[in-house]
Amino acid sequence: MIQIQGLNKTFTVPERASGLKETVRSVFKRQTRAIHAVRDLSFSVRPGEMVGYIGPNGAGKSTTIKIMSGILVPDSGTCDILGRTPWKQRKEHVRHIGVVFGQRSQLWWDVPVQDSFDLLRDIYRIGEKDYQVTLEQLTGVLDLGPLLQTPVRSLSLGQRMRCELAASLLHRPEILFLDEPTIGLDAVSKLAVRRFIRELNQEHGTTVILTTHDMHDIDALTRRILLIGQGRILYDGSLDDLRSRYEETDLERLAVMLYQEHQL
C-alpha cells in the first residue's frame, strides 16, 4: 500500500554567527548549511495497518508526512502509495488520502464549521448523497452536532480537532496521515480522538500513519512503531518488544532510553 525506498530530502538553511562583524560579513558572503531532513529512508506499510511514527523534534517525521501527502518533492528516492507517486500525480493521489496537521487548521476561521465542510464537499467533488451519509456518520461518532453551526474561531482546541478529523475524512480516504493530532489536547479530548481513530481503523480498515510525541497515543493505538532520528529509520517493530528489551514499563522513560541509545 505504501512503499518508500531510499528517500532523501535536504533543506538549505542560511546560517551565520552572532555579532555585528559576522552580520556584515554575511551581507557579502552568505553561509548556508545543508540539513538532511530524511536520509535514505525506506519502509513499507500494509493495508489496514496503523503505524506510530515517533522521534524527537526535527527528526524528519513531518517531512516524511509532507512528502507522502504530495506537498514536498524529495531530492531522490521513490515513494509508491496506492500505485501512485505523490508529488508526480498529486491531484489524483490526494483524493485517496486524508491529512491532519495538528498544528494547523484546514477550517475557515470566520465561517461556521458546516460552511468549511460544504466547501470541502465541492473541492473533492463529493456527491450530495454520499456527503450527507458521511457527514451524518462523522457527526454522530465525533459528536459534532452542536458544533456545526459555530464559527471555527469560537471552538475550543478539542472541539476544533474533532472537526479537523471529520474534515479530513469527508471524502472517505483509504489512508489517513495524522501529524500530531493530540498536541495540546486535554485528557478527555485525547481519549475521544484516540477512540475515534481506533474505531476508524477497525471498522473501515483505514490505514493510519500517526506522528506524536505522546507515547500513550502509540500505546493506545498502534502495534507497530517506526522510530526516526536524524532522518533515518532506527527502529521498526512493536512497542511490546521494546518494553521487554529495555525492561521498562513507563512509556516516557522508554522513549528517553530509546533516544539515548541512538544518541538523538
Let me know: does 223 contact 56? Beta carbons within 8 Å.
no
Q: Is 162 in the site for other proteins (CB under 8 A)?
A: no
Q: Please, which of residues 117-156 interact with other proteins by CB under 8 A?
A: 118-119, 122-125
C-alpha cell read off for 141: 461518532
Whole-number minimum distance, CB 125 to other proteins, in Å? 5
Of the candidates 4, 41, 72, 81, which one interacts with other proteins according to CB under 8 A? 72
Spatial neighbors of 161 by CB under 8 A, at least 6 apart, are 100, 102, 181, 182, 185, 189, 193
Question: According to CB under 8 A, which one of 7, 50, 69, 181 is a site residue for other proteins?
Answer: 69
- Partners of residue 11 on adjacent β-strands: 35
Q: Which of 21, 29, 33, 91 binds other proteins (CB under 8 A)?
A: 91
Q: Is the dihedral of CA 233, 234, 236, 238 positive or negative?
A: negative
Q: Give the strand pairing for 232-238 and 224-229.
A: antiparallel
Q: Establish if 235 lies at the interface with other proteins (CB under 8 A).
A: no
CA distances from 14 to 11, 17, 29, 32 (A): 10, 11, 11, 4
Task: List the one residue from 15, 22, 92, 241 that touches other proteins (CB under 8 A).
Answer: 92
Q: Which is nearer to other proteins, 43 or 87 (CB)?
A: 87
What SS3 state is found at 225? strand
103 in contact with other proteins (CB under 8 A): yes
Determine the Cα–Cα distance for residues 254 and 92; give it in Å rounded to an integer. Answer: 40
Residue 99 interacting with other proteins (CB under 8 A): yes
Residue 213 makes contact with other proteins by CB under 8 A? no
User: Does residue 176 bind other proteins (CB under 8 A)?
Assistant: no
Query: Minimum distance between the CB of residue 143 and other proteins, rounded to whole angstroms?
Result: 24
Q: Interface residues with other proteins (CB under 8 A)?
A: 11, 62, 66, 69-73, 87, 90-92, 94-95, 97, 99, 101-106, 108, 110-111, 115, 118-119, 122-125, 179-180
